[in-house]
């Protein structure tokens, strides 16, 4: 029997629902302004560059780099029991926006700033998929 998923699940703001719906379809979507062309994340109603409310949710390339990362050596939440050490990385997408995620397919000691990564999708429950990243 599959182990019960005990990590916290996202509790999205209404503005973020399209991001999580796309993740369920294994797509990484971010907002793009129709007025000035700016890409942004995390989600909000108006473009942070020009305040236009006119935007599209576009599918990002899914490629980027590790801008910075931290390695947890201490357990903060029982959901990660037996999984320490683990890495939380700040990913800078090729489109510009940055988002936090985990890295898969690489040991924590091999992670480096500026390494190229690409998105993968982790279906953690039937309802929730987390975009994660792996070396490109």
Partner 1 sequence: MSVPQPNPALRDKYAIAGTGTSRLGQVPDVSSLGLMEEASANALSDAGLTAKDIDGLLVRGPDDIYTFHQVLGERLGINASFSTTTTNGGASQILSVILAVMAIDAGLASVVLCGFGRDAWSRTHRTEQARISGATRSAAMDTQEFGPEYGLFGAPAMHAFGARRHMHEFGTTREQFGAISLAFREHAQRNPQAQMLGRPLTMEDYLAARMIVEPFCLLDCSLRSDGAGAVIVTSTERARDMKQKPVLIKGFGTHNNLRGWFDGDNMLRTAAGPSGQRAYAMAGLGPKDIDCAQIYDCFTYMVLTQLEDYGFCKKGEGGDFVSSGTLALDGALPTNTSGGQLSETHNEGMLQIVEGARQLQGIYGPDRQVPAAETCLVSGHGGNTVCHSSLILGAA
Residues that bind Zn ion (CB under 5 A): 33, 35-36, 38, 47, 49-50, 52
| Smallest distance from partner 1 to CB 106, Å | 15
Cross-strand partners of 101: 89
Site for partner 1, residues 26 to 45, rule: CB under 8 A:
42
Does the footprint of partner 1 cover residue 135 (CB under 8 A)? no
7 to 26, contacts with partner 1 by CB under 8 A? 7-13, 16, 20
Q: For 1-136, where are the E strands, in sequence order?
A: 29-33, 39-40, 55-59, 63-72, 86-93, 98-102, 116-123, 129-135
**CA 84/CA 74 separation, integer angstroms:** 7
Q: Which is nearer to Zn ion, 38 or 101 (CB)?
A: 38
Q: What are phi and psi of 52, to 5 degrees?
A: -70, 140
Spatial contact of 94 and 116, defined as CB atoms under 8 Å apart: no
Nearer to partner 1, 15 or 56 (CB): 15
- Contacts to partner 1 by CB under 8 A: 7-13, 16, 20, 42, 48, 67-80, 85-86, 88, 90, 98-102, 112-114, 130
């Amino acid at each position: 029997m599959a182990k019960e998923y005990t990590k916290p699940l996202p509790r999205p703001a209404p503005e973020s629902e399209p991001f999580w719906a796309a993740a369920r379809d294994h797509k990484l979507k971010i907002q793009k302004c129709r007025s000035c062309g700016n890409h942004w994340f995390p989600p909000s109603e108006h473009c942070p560059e020009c305040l236009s409310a006119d935007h599209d949710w576009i599918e990002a390339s899914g490629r980027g780099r590790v801008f910075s990362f931290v390695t947890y050596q201490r357990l903060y939440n029982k959901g990660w029991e037996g999984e320490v050490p683990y890495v939380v990385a700040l990913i800078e997408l090729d489109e510009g926006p940055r988002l936090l995620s985990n890295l898969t397919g690489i040991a924590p000691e091999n992670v480096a700033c500026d390494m190229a990564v690409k998105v993968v999708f982790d279906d953690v429950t039937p309802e929730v998929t987390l975009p994660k990243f792996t070396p490109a």
